[in-house]
Chains A and B, each alone.
Chain A
Amino acid sequence: MRKLIICAIAAAALAGCAKLQTALDEIKGVYTYATTATVTSGQAGIVANAYDALKGTAVNYGHYCVTQKFPQPVCSASNRRAVIKAIRAGDAARAQIEAPITAGQPVAATVYNTLVAAVQQLQAAPINTAKVQ
């Protein structure tokens, strides 16, 4: 009986750990690809908000590159190309995701995953290193 109780407590603790890990991932900005056909509007909303914030930073990055005359290596062609590619893909996915989020409907995983990829590309890009003067 005692072992059973210990097992139950351990199982509950492990489940709690999984939820905690998910919450920590969200705080750290780690967004994972969906493996199901759809995701909930709540999950999509979190990634959509992250994309909106990153896009704001990307706009600042573009402004920085132009006003500072493309300092290297931050504003190198490859870095700018990566940012633009992520924004174009992200904008298209973000536009498609808006209506289901507003309606509380499930979001197609392909669109969601496109937005996650855009978020990850923007997180990997040097947009946060640019300081607008």
Chain B
Amino acid sequence: MASEAILAVLAIIEQIIPLLGTSAATASMIVNIINALTQLLPFIVNEVSTVYTSVKNIISLLQNSGQVTAEQTAALQQLDAQVDAAWAAVLPQIDPDAAGGDPGAAHAS
């Protein structure tokens, strides 16, 4: 349920980004989106395997918009790294060579 709610918010953000344009309001809108992503981060980290692609798409769209400042780029890179780190933390859940043994072994038989 939480992942569905986060996905809904992320989907709206993804739809807004192409409409940002180049007006003076664009800069504050980008700041707001970055702030929203930062505030959502704990939930994104919890549901990273579900929302990973959406978050990465948003970060990529903003980075390629040509409207972000150096400071915003740094913030986006930090968010990007945190999402990747969250995914890296999830990897042991599917790693057959994980320290705790193969997590899929119990289901394989």
Residues of A within 8 A of B (CB): 52, 56, 59-60, 62-63, 65-66, 69-70, 72, 75-78, 80-81, 83-84, 87, 91
Contacts and interface: CB of A to CB of B under 8 A. Distances in A.
What does DSSP make chain B's interface, helix, strand, loop or mixed?
A: helix
Q: Nearest 6 pairs between A and B by C-beta?
A: A70-B104, A77-B96, A63-B49, A56-B53, A70-B107, A69-B107
Interface stretch (B11-19, B26-34, B85-93): B85-93
A74 B14 CA distance: 31
Given A66-B103, A72-B108, 5 more contacts: A52-B56, A63-B49, A66-B49, A78-B96, A80-B96
B90 to A, nearest CB: 7
A56 B49 contact: no
Contacts of B97: 81, 84
Interface of B: 48-50, 52-53, 56, 60, 84, 87-88, 90-91, 93-97, 102-105, 107-108
Contacts of B103: 66, 70
B94 A62 contact: yes
28 contacts: A52-B60, A56-B52, A56-B53, A59-B52, A59-B53, A60-B49, A60-B52, A60-B53, A62-B90, A62-B93, A65-B94, A65-B104, A66-B103, A70-B103, A70-B104, A72-B108, A76-B104, A77-B96, A77-B104, A77-B108, A80-B95, A80-B96, A81-B95, A81-B97, A84-B95, A84-B97, A91-B84, A91-B88
